[in-house]
Structure 1
Amino acid sequence: MTLPQLGNDAARRLFLDRHGLLQTGGGPGKGADLAGVIGDLGFVQVDSVNTFARAHDLILWARRGQYRSPALDSLLAKDRAVFEHWTHDAAVIPMDQFPHWRHRFDRDAAWLHSRWSEWRREGFLQQIDEVRRHVQDHGHCTSRDVGKDEAKGSGGWWDWHPSKTALEYLWRTGECSVVRRDGFRKVYDLTERVIPPDVLKARTDEQETIDWACNSALDKLGFGTSGELAAFWALATPAEAKSWCAAALARGEIIEIEVLGHDGAPRRSFTRPGVLEQARALPDASSRVRILSPFDPALRDRKRAERLFGFHYRIEIFVPEAQRKYGYYVFPVMEGTQMIGRIDMKADRSTGALNVTGFWPEPGVKWGKGRQSRLEAELDRAKRLGGCDRVEMTDGWLRQ
């Protein structure tokens, strides 16, 4: 049987529309408006790298130009409209989804117990009870407040002292929750002191969570394979998502289509009935040039980004400098529905300058005065997010 096809242009527009990037976004970028953006995306990945702006701030700013980081802090720490936990990585997630994470807590408990016993320094299991008592007795605490007499690691990001590992374990398994971030350091308390009571008492069974995870992932992506639905939240396993797709297909709740990649190659995917017509009716994309986070939800699945946009992107943090093709942490740049390049820029907050040291147009992208002007307009907007008052382009910044 011949499957309906979704052309590459329509697929890009649908995908970017579902990710809030098809048109220039309006709105204040705070309060209920910001909570709505996060709800539409599903979650926003949190990351510590701050050469220009942290990943979560850049993700939200790309959709709401008035957004500034204190607005997200308020949603988490004051409004309790979001909570912080794990999808494929640390993320802020709408608060009403918390009941579904209880199943994640249970699954992670056994997995972390086994894996962290191998990957982390010895002794964290023995510290769990003591750390739990410390949080219960003292309330808000950070990893600096526990294990004060333990030797601090020197082996990199994940070389935690045992009590810090125990504190993270209590968070990942649901006993503790993140109250707020001080700088980028997580502040924890017992979950019952953080999560609103009506959310805390809500329960779902495991099948309800699988149904919700697959349904919501498909709606937020627009189309996807069963594996992509499983990976969206990392709440359903690949096998569970595959079974859900088969059952939903039999009920007529979803249909199977072919989505054409940038090279014309088809890929079988699932979508909702009527979505093909909706995709073809979408308006053209805004001509704005956008600087995106390397962890933007539209690009975080690197294989999908390459298949859909022809954009091969990898972060070169762990690549020796002599072997790097680009800077170690460069930002993807989009115009309309096309990825047009990547930019290396850093905020020097001591001088107030946003320094652009390199821009690499994608193969086949012609660089002219129009694109130059649109990139400069985006940099002028971006400087304020980075805490700068001017943009400085170094000699040779355009790497044709």
Structure 2
Amino acid sequence: MTRPLIDNQTARRLFLDRHLLLGPRSGPGKGADLQQVIDDLGFVQVDSVNTLARAHDLILWSRRQQYRPPNLPRLMKTRGAFEHWTHDASVIPMTRFPVWRHKFARDKAHMDAKWDAWRRDGFRDQLDAVMRQIADAGACSSMDVGENEDRTSGGWWDWHPSKTALEYLWRSGDLSVCHRRGFRKYYDLTERVIPPEHLNARVPQEEMVDWACRTALDRLGFATSGELAAFYAIATPAQAKAWCARALTSRTIIEADIQSHDGTLRRCFVLPEILNSAPPEPNARVRLLSPFDPALRDRKRAERLWGFRYRIEIFVPAPKRQYGYYVFPVMQGDRIIGRIDTRRDGDRTLVTAFWPEQGIRMGKARVAALAAEIERVATFVGSCDVEWSPEWLKSGKAG
């Protein structure tokens, strides 16, 4: 039987619609509305890089223009979400905490197998001491433990033993992040952070796999079994592959050919209702996205859908960088139109360079739309002025 075909433009729109990037950015961006955004996305990655704004704040602002950075900590304080790992540190809806117990167990097994070789000696000797300190004295950060330990660090792999113990206990579920100050995490006993109805609930493994694969496919629109496993990084690739085989047999999912940017076809799984739904038409508004936006974190998928080759060049020496070390993708409608080098500098927002994607013409209307988005970004990050470099528009690759 011939597989259904989803052309490239429709695929892009389906994908963006499920990532809340196709329609307007209306909504208060706080309270129940913010909770719904996080629920709909599945999770929001948090990251410390702050050249313009933190990654999680840009991700949420890209979907709700009224969102402001204090809104997420307020939601966390009401226990609408918790922090743990997907593919990276993320904010996850609190209702999913029982599912994440499987992640705690997998992470603990991984750490037990690897961390003794990867981390500084002595962290296991501190596990009980750290737990007792937090139980007796309350929430603490890595600065509050290991008072007499050598804190000289060569990087994230060279934590002092008590800091490693904190991270181990968090990743394995004994501790939870209760709040942050600045970007510093504070940990408390999990039973003092997670509401009882979620703390005491249990989800069988089979139910966890079904939930992880089904909701990942709903949020992606189309995917291979490997992409389903990678979405939350909670079901294993083998579990996702077996789920797809069962779901295909029961016709819960079907196969379809997805057209890539270059015209090639890729076989993916889709929910049947996808074929009967038309995504909305995009508007012409320009959006600046975080480099860690969930729509772009799978770089290979971004290249297939848009022909957009993207990486963060933090570790590339300056003479060899093709672009700035931390540039922001820019989208208009359902197209990625380029990448921009912009940063906050005191009360100014500086725009150093914009590199259009191949085939993108920067006419007056598009330049005006880009300038309007940068003005909105400047308001969001608290800048008074926007300054554009005289030669900000790059017609080709920058040296």
State the TM-score bracket (shorter-chain normalisation): over 0.9
Local SS of the residue matching 2:48:
coil
Local SS of the residue matching 2:156:
coil
**1:327 matched residue in structure 2:** 324
**2:351 matched residue in structure 1:** 356
Query: Where do residues 246-325 of structure 1 align in structure 2 (5 Å cutoff)?
Result: 246-278=245-277, 281-325=278-322
Query: More displaced, 360-369 or 26-35?
Result: 360-369
Q: CA offset at residue 145 of structure 1?
A: 0.3
Number of residue pairs the alignment of both structures matches? 395
Q: CA offset at residue 167 of structure 1?
A: 0.2
The superposition leaves residues 76-127 of structure 1 with CA deviations (integer Å, 9 ceiling, x where unpaired) of: 12x1000000000000000000000111111111211221111111111111
Query: More displaced, 168-177 or 155-164?
Result: 155-164
Query: More displaced, 292-301 or 361-370?
Result: 361-370
Local SS of the residue matching 1:25:
coil
Local SS of the residue matching 1:356:
strand
Q: CA offset at residue 148 of structure 1?
A: 1.5
**1:398 matched residue in structure 2:** 393
Answer yes or no: is 1:50 the counterpart of 2:50. Answer: yes
Tell me how far apart the structure 1 counterparts of residues 315 and 156 of structure 2 sit (CA, whole Å): 13
Tell me how far apart the structure 1 counterparts of residues 359 and 119 of structure 2 sit (CA, whole Å): 46
Tell me how far apart the structure 1 counterparts of residues 328 and 152 of structure 2 sit (CA, whole Å): 31
Structure 2 letter corresponding to 1:283:
P
Structure 2 letter corresponding to 1:164:
K
User: Structure 1: 5+ residue runs without aligned partners?
Assistant: none
The superposition leaves residues 306-346 of structure 1 with CA deviations (integer Å, 9 ceiling, x where unpaired) of: 00111000000111111101111100000111111101111
**1:156 matched residue in structure 2:** 155
Query: Where do residues 191-230 of structure 1 align in structure 2 (5 Å cutoff)?
Result: 191-230=190-229
**1:388 matched residue in structure 2:** 383
**2:66 matched residue in structure 1:** 66
Local SS of the residue matching 1:295:
coil
Query: More displaced, 326-335 or 282-291?
Result: 282-291
Structure 2 letter corresponding to 1:368:
G
Local SS of the residue matching 1:236:
coil
Q: Structure 2 length normalisation: TM-score?
A: 0.98
Contact 2:19–2:41 under 8 Å retained in 1: yes
Query: More displaced, 104-113 or 181-190?
Result: 104-113
Contact 2:118–2:157 under 8 Å retained in 1: no
User: Structure 2: 5+ residue runs without aligned partners?
Assistant: none
Query: Where do residues 118-133 of structure 1 align in structure 2 (5 Å cutoff)?
Result: 118-133=117-132
Local SS of the residue matching 1:126:
helix
Tell me how far apart the structure 2 counterparts of residues 32 and 295 of structure 1 sit (CA, whole Å): 24
Q: CA offset at residue 277 of structure 1?
A: 2.2
Contact 2:22–2:283 under 8 Å retained in 1: yes
Tell me how far apart the structure 2 counterparts of residues 153 and 62 of structure 1 sit (CA, whole Å): 38
Structure 2 letter corresponding to 1:29:
G
Identity over the aligned pairs, expressed in percent?
62
Runs of 4+ residues deviating >4 angstroms: none
Query: Where do residues 90-101 of structure 1 align in structure 2 (5 Å cutoff)?
Result: 90-101=89-100
Tell me how far apart the structure 2 counterparts of residues 345 and 230 of structure 1 sit (CA, whole Å): 34
Structure 2 letter corresponding to 1:370:
A
The superposition leaves residues 163-199 of structure 1 with CA deviations (integer Å, 9 ceiling, x where unpaired) of: 0000000000000000011000001100000000111
**1:172 matched residue in structure 2:** 171
Q: CA offset at residue 348 of structure 1?
A: 1.1
Query: Where do residues 22-61 of structure 1 align in structure 2 (5 Å cutoff)?
Result: 22-61=22-61
Q: CA offset at residue 154 of structure 1?
A: 2.8
Q: Structure 1 length normalisation: TM-score?
A: 0.97
**2:370 matched residue in structure 1:** 375
